[in-house]
Chains A and B, each alone.
Chain A
Amino acid sequence: MHKHVIVIYPHPDDESFGSSGTMTQFRNQGVPVTYLCGTLGEMGRNMGNPFFANRETLPDIRKKELLDACKILDVNVEMLGYRDKTIEFESRDEIAEHLKGYLEDIKPTLVITHYPGHAVHPDHDAMGAAAVEAVRKMDPEDRPEVWAQAITNDRYETLGKPDIVNNVEAEFDVKVAAIQAHRSQFEGMFQKMRQSPDFKGQYEDVMERFKHEEFYQWQFNN
């Protein structure tokens, strides 16, 4: 059994959409979970539907939503203070060092993050790359496992079958509640999925997809 799980993503809501079912499974087993959230999603385009936020109020609103979601998920959260959309332009090494500080402090046995290069949003890719780099910097015997999450449409073709597929149907209520805590974001997002030509009428499929959380086990070669 894992001793402590650290989840690393750049945006408030990545945790709820991405791996909240898995986090809930760990919490139900009594495993502590800490979410390291890179930014406050300051540049998000969704302002609620109908919109109630603006560019200047959004950071505080999303911070509150993040805290609400993490309360529902019963996980600790640390906000890292980077700025939305800019992570790929920062020094990867500095971010990795920053993250490594948390890893050395908390000593997790598992890190969950985005699969660099396969996570659609540049912040996801950059934060995932920094997270992998942070673990790589550690002594091989001290390294936690890394589960990398790919969300590209062609992930199966390019990466093959995921190593870990968690059925989170039993945790689905918690997951949906956590997603809904991100009130400024989820309405626009669901709308988008409903209308998307590349998810064609697949809203139900998307909901179905939310019932499984998939990860690739990261292999370190050095």
Chain B
Amino acid sequence: MTIDSIHNGYVIDHIPAGSAMALYTHLGLEKLGCPVAMIMNAQSKRMGKKDIIKIDGDLDLSLDVVGYLAPGATVNVIRDGTLLEKRTLDLPEQLTGVIRCRNPRCITSTERDLPAAFRLTDREKRVYRCVYCEAKYEK
């Protein structure tokens, strides 16, 4: 794979340095058959250092996951060799099925097929609270 010549896929740029691996895992990229290139600690005028992920494949990319794990990242959507869309992502207001509630008294710990859902309650402090029990998410 020539990392600069993606035909159909994504280039996730401006990932805070050190976050690419977590993104790789949470996006489930290891389960994909398509080529994925990761660039760590690239030079960035704006950020000093940054990570970049290039995905050569048409998948349903979860923008919530990217926004949550790498706020400020830019997602470039490439279709038929051209840049279709470029979006800078911020922390999503709602986060469903991405992180799990750690409160053992929460209904999401026992109810079948109930994806954990969180709401951003403080953007500045990056606080997410469980929609069900309202517990603060602690990493």
> Are A and B physically bound partners?
no
| A binding-site residues for B, Cβ under 8 Å | none
| B binding-site residues for A, Cβ under 8 Å | none
